Amino acid sequence: MLDGRPTLLGLPYDASSSFMRGPALAPPRIRDELYSQQSNGCAENGVHVLGDAGLVDAGDLGLPDTAEARALIEAGVRDVLDRGGRPLSLGGDHSVTYPVLRALGPRVRDLTIVQIDAHSDLYEDFEGDRHSHACPFARIMESGLARRLVQVGIRTSNAHQREQATRFGVTVIGMREWMAGERPVASGPVYLSIDLDGLDPAFAPGVSHREPGGLTVREVVSIVQALPGPIVGADVVELNPLQDPDGTSASVAAKLVRELAARMLETTATAG
């Protein structure tokens, strides 16, 4: 059973970023906000996610700026799973989601990924790099690591990425569809991947690729709370502390971690 406690795992890697480095610095900043005395550690459902029965913190992996990082991430997540935990990963750029799913996907039958993002990250390759943070969901879907991918908040798709979405049968809820009332629907086990640039930069400016016109914090929290689950894993990625001098975006990331952990503590799943 993938019904263990959510386990924080920092993935300080940003060598696959296409524009700006900095997300490798994010895991300790998110922890600073998560454990800050400004918060009592409770989620909105009343669960004390930082209490004795709450999430486990496995620390950060030591990752090089090379392709070896992907194997180390996969092994680190596999260790979390072997110990009975469910990974709640702190990126890092979005490329880390592919090795996370290489560890998790084969253990879960009929997995649905819900991706919150401004970008679809479905490039076949980006500037010659098949493992760029612009490509992880192409790698995940072509490898059969999930049955279904649902994307929410997309507002930058070009022709190639729309072709890729059709190729992989992706359900895309762009911001125009969101504003028209469309909402993600998922059944069975869910992996939730939250790229902070899926939020409007008014709420989370501390990212490398700011894209106006996105989701509010309240909307993203509502997605987390409304998904029926079971939620077998999650990640929060693309915080760039170098673009977040007052810590606003790190605080948003910590809020999302609390809500994800609370939802994961409420749900269980059967491994495939």
Question: Is the predicted pLDDT of residue 271 greater than 70, yes or no?
Answer: no
Amino acid letter, 15: A
Amino acid letter, 250: A
Q: Average pLDDT, stretch 193-200?
A: 98
| Three state DSSP letters for the chain | CCCCCEEEEEECCCCCCCCCCCHHHHHHHHHHHHCCCCCCCECCCCCECCCCCCCEEEEECCCCCCCHHHHHHHHHHHHHHHCCCEEEEEECCHHHHHHHHHHHHHHECCCEEEEECCCCCCCCCECCECCCCCCHHHHHHHCCCCCEEEEEEECCCCHHHHHHHHHCCCEEEEHHHHHCCCCCCCCCCEEEEEEHHHECCCCCCCECCCCCCCECHHHHHHHHHHCCCCEEEEEEECECHHHCCCCHHHHHHHHHHHHHHHHHHCCCCCEC
- Answer positive or negative: Cα dihedral of 205, 209, 210, 212: negative
Instruction: Name the residue with tokens 């799943």.
Output: 269
| 0.85 surpassed by pTM | yes
How long a stretch of residues is the chain? 272
Question: Is the predicted pLDDT of residue 228 greater than 90, yes or no?
Answer: no
Q: Please tell me the least confidently modeled range out of 44-53, 69-78, 132-141, 237-246.
A: 44-53
Which tens digits make up the pLDDT trace of 131-151?
A: 898 899 999 999 999 999 999
Give all domains of the chain, ordered by start, each with its CATH number.
6-265 (3.40.800.10)
Give phi and psi for 76, each to the nearest 5.
Answer: -65, -40
Q: How far apart are CA 249 and CA 203, in angstroms?
A: 7
Residue 3's pLDDT band (cuts 50, 70, 90):
low
Which tens digits make up the pLDDT trace of 60-90?
A: 999 999 999 999 999 999 999 999 999 999 9
Q: Please tell me the least confidently modeled range out of 35-39, 71-75, 84-88, 267-271.
A: 267-271
Q: What pLDDT is stored for residue 128 in this prediction? A: 83
Which tens digits make up the pLDDT trace of 88-120?
A: 999 999 999 999 999 999 999 999 999 999 999
Question: Is the predicted pLDDT of residue 250 greater than 90, yes or no?
Answer: yes
Q: What pLDDT is stored for residue 1 in this prediction? A: 44
